[in-house]
Amino acid sequence: MPDDITLLRAVRSEVDDLPPEVVDAALHRARQRIALHGDAPLRTRRTRYRPALIAAAVVITAGTLVGTGVLTHTPGSEAAAAATLHDAARAAAADHGSATAFRRVTVRELALGYATSDGEHYDEGYLAPTTTVTWVPRDITGTWTQESWSDPATTIYGGRAARRAAQQDYAASAHRDDPVRSTAAGGAFGNGELGGTPEGTLTPADIAGLPRDPDALVRRIEAAPRAEGASDAEQVFDTLSDFLRTGLVPADLRATVYEAIAGLPDVVVTDDQASLDGRHGTAIGLGGRSDSDRREVIIDPATGAYLGERTLQTRRIGSIPAGSVVDSVTVAVDGVDRLP
C-alpha cells in the first residue's frame, strides 16, 4: 500500500489546475502538522484520496468562522501586532490554571474538500465539520482517551459535484451518535508520519523542555529541520502555531511563544475583530508570504488565551472565492477530574 506522501504526490499530479503554490503550501502544512501532532490531541479525521476530493491533508478549516475577505494590513499593523502579543503574553503569564486529573482538549474543525464539476478541473468545494475531544492525563506518558465525529457540510461552493462529494464524505465518516473512540499510551494514536519525521524535528514531547526565553526559543526552532525554502520567520511562526494548536502549551510557555512571535519580522494584525466559533480575538500573521494563502493565529490579548488558527485563500479558485477560510481550527481546553 502506498504511503501518505506517495498518495499526496499522486493527488498533486491530477490537479494541475490548482496553483502549484496552493498544493505546495498544503503539503508543507501536512508534513509539519503530522510531525507535530502524530501524538497530540488533534486531527483523527481520515484522509481520503478519490477523484472528487483533495484530502483534508490539503486544506482543513474549523468552527463557525467569519473571514475578512480581501487580505490587507494597514500601516502600523506591525506595531499593533507586537503590542497585542505583548499584552497577551502578560495575561498568559498571570494564568496559573488549576491542577486536575485530565486536560480535555476540544478541537472543532471544518475540512475544505475540492470537487471537480467536469472531471478535469477542481473548481468546486465544501466545508465539513469535525469535532475531536481528547482527555490528556496529568502525566502525559499515561493513557489518553479520544472521541471524534463528523457533521454534515455547512457550506457548498459550486453545485452538484460539491454536494455529491460532501454527501459521500459524510456517509463515510463517524457521526456524533457513534463516534470513533480510541485510547493510546502517551497519545500515540497512530496518525502516522507524512513522509517520515526528520531527526531533530520538534514534537509535543519537547514542549516541557522548551526554553522559556523568547530568543532561546527562536534559536531552538531555527535549529530544527524545516520545509525546503522556508525562511527563519516562517519556520518559527509555523512551528509555534502548531504547538499552540495542540492545546498542551502551559501558560508560562504560551507567554514566551507570544513574545517570540512578536519579535519576528513582518508580523502584522490582519483582523482585530476575528470571529472564531463564537469567540472573538485578534488575528495575527506574517506579511509577505505565499500569494495563494495566508496563515494566522487568533488570540485574546485580554486573557492571553489562544483561540485557534486559520488560513485564508487569497485568490479565487473556481467557485471558491478569494478571502475564503480554507484552513483553520478552534481549540478549547478545560480541566476535568474523570473520563466520560
In a domain, 325, yes or no: yes
Q: Which helix (H) or strand (E) holds 322?
A: none
- Asked if residue 163 lies in contact with residue 206, where contact means CB atoms within 8 angstroms, the answer is no
pLDDT computed for residue 47 by the predictor: 28
pLDDT computed for residue 45 by the predictor: 27
pLDDT computed for residue 299 by the predictor: 92
Cα 279 from chain centre: 17
- Asked if residue 258 lies in contact with residue 241, where contact means CB atoms within 8 angstroms, the answer is no
Nearest alpha carbon to residue 44 among 126, 145, 143: 145
Q: How far is CA 72 from CA 200, 245, 312, 323, in A?
A: 36, 24, 11, 10
Distance from C-alpha of 88 to C-alpha of 32, rounded to nearest angstrom: 25
In a domain, 108, yes or no: yes
End-to-end CA distance of the chain: 36
Q: Which residues pair with 276 in a beta bridge?
A: 65, 279
Question: Would you tell me the crossing angle of helices 4-13 and 20-37 to the nearest 10 degrees?
Answer: 170
Nearest alpha carbon to residue 33 among 194, 248, 218: 194
Distance from C-alpha of 68 to C-alpha of 125, rounded to nearest angstrom: 19
In a domain, 35, yes or no: yes
pLDDT computed for residue 23 by the predictor: 55
Distance from C-alpha of 96 to C-alpha of 202, rounded to nearest angstrom: 25
In a domain, 268, yes or no: yes
- Asked if residue 35 lies in contact with residue 203, where contact means CB atoms within 8 angstroms, the answer is yes
Strands 267-276 and 279-286: antiparallel
In a domain, 197, yes or no: no
Residue type, 8: L
- Asked if residue 309 lies in contact with residue 329, where contact means CB atoms within 8 angstroms, the answer is yes
pTM of the predicted structure, to 2 decimals: 0.72
Distance from C-alpha of 179 to C-alpha of 150, rounded to nearest angstrom: 8
| Residue 12 dihedral angles phi and psi, to the nearest 5° | -60, -40
Would you write out the chain's pLDDT as a tens digit for each of its 340 residues? 333 333 343 344 444 555 554 555 455 445 444 444 444 332 222 222 222 222 222 232 333 333 333 334 444 567 888 888 888 888 887 766 667 899 999 999 977 888 999 888 889 999 888 999 999 998 888 999 999 999 999 999 999 999 999 999 999 999 999 999 999 888 877 644 445 567 777 877 788 899 999 999 999 999 988 877 788 898 999 999 989 988 889 899 999 999 999 999 889 898 887 888 788 899 999 876 666 778 899 999 999 999 999 888 888 889 999 888 787 799 999 999 999 8
Q: Which three cell numbers stand for residue 273?
A: 475583530
Residue type, 217: L
Domain that holds residue 305: 4-192+203-336
In a domain, 198, yes or no: no
- The total domain count for the chain is 1
Q: What proportions of the chain, in percent to the nearest 5, are helix, strand and coil?
A: 30, 30, 40
Cell 485563500, residue located: 313
In a domain, 168, yes or no: yes
Strands 180-185 and 155-157: unpaired
